[in-house]
């Protein structure tokens, strides 16, 4: 599935901390990504939750100063840097970090070296998976239980369409049609969110 470039318009919306819809979308995808990255590095649940909160607070404080440009990091790289630094800082310090935030946060982030390819690839993969989960949750109410089950069993669980059709008392064509309809809508929803966040 293609993931289009970051939408500058939605990034601009997130710069407005009062735009609840933009922030809900952002948090729905990136909170679990940051949390899982922290957990994979050996952090306990509570510590990973703290780091996740720190990353989101840092983003909310600094996103207003983020600008696109050839000499500036892309939005996704900027997010990777914040996440990587917060996780590394939490792992290396036994005590809780004191909250900070100002325009100097932006200067510090821009001064950081580029994220290593492995961390960036992990962040991108996690973001894509979370975008799919989020999109599936968003669109599921648009379909009947039967249509969703036919899609899920074939596209997600990987069961053969003929077996699913026989078990559901449907034709194989009906199974393929259900899967097609859900996948088409899922792709639309994923592209909608990926246009915004370059996942």
Q: Is the pLDDT of residue 18 over 80?
A: yes
Classify residue 114 by its DSSP letter: P
Contacts of 174 (CB under 8 A, 6+ apart): 150, 165
Bigger pLDDT: 7 or 79?
Answer: 79
> What pLDDT, on a 0 to 100 scale, did the predictor assign at position 115?
53
- CA-to-CA distance for 24 and 30, rounded, in angstroms? 10
Closest residue by Cα to residue 131 from 59, 186, 80 = 186
Residue 73 tokens read as 């990091």
What's the rounded mean pLDDT across residues 149-167? 92
Bigger pLDDT: 100 or 61?
Answer: 61
- CA-to-CA distance for 124 and 173, rounded, in angstroms? 35
Q: Is the pLDDT of residue 106 over 60?
A: no
Q: State pTM to two decimals.
A: 0.56
- CA-to-CA distance for 76 and 72, rounded, in angstroms? 11
User: In this prediction, what percent of the chain has a pLDDT beyond 90?
Assistant: 22
> What pLDDT, on a 0 to 100 scale, did the predictor assign at position 141?
93
What's the rounded mean pLDDT across residues 3-23? 68
User: In this prediction, what percent of the chain has a pLDDT beyond 70?
Assistant: 77
- CA-to-CA distance for 181 and 14, rounded, in angstroms? 31
- Provide the mean pLDDT of the chain: 77
36-81 pLDDT, tens digit per residue, is 888 888 888 888 899 888 888 888 888 887 777 777 767 777 777 8
């Amino acid at each position: 599935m293609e993931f289009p470039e970051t939408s500058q318009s939605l990034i601009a919306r997130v710069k407005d901390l009062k735009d609840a819809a933009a922030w809900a979308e952002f948090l729905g995808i990136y909170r679990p990504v940051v949390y899982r990255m922290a957990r994979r590095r050996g952090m306990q649940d509570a510590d990973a939750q703290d780091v996740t909160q720190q990353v989101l607070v840092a983003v909310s404080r600094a996103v207003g100063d983020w600008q696109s440009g050839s000499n500036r990091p892309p939005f996704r790289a900027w997010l990777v840097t914040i996440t990587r630094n917060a996780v590394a800082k939490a792992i290396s310090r036994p005590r809780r970090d004191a909250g900070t935030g100002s325009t100097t946060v932006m200067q510090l982030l821009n001064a950081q070296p580029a994220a290593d390819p492995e961390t960036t690839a992990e962040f991108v993969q996690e973001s894509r998976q979370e975008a799919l989960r989020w999109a599936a949750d968003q669109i599921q109410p648009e379909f009947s239980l039967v249509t969703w089950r036919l899609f899920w069993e074939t596209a997600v669980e990987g069961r053969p369409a003929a077996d699913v059709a026989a078990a559901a008392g449907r034709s194989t064509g009906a199974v393929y049609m259900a899967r097609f309809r859900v996948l088409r809508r899922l792709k639309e929803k994923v592209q909608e969110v990926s246009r915004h966040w370059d996942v």
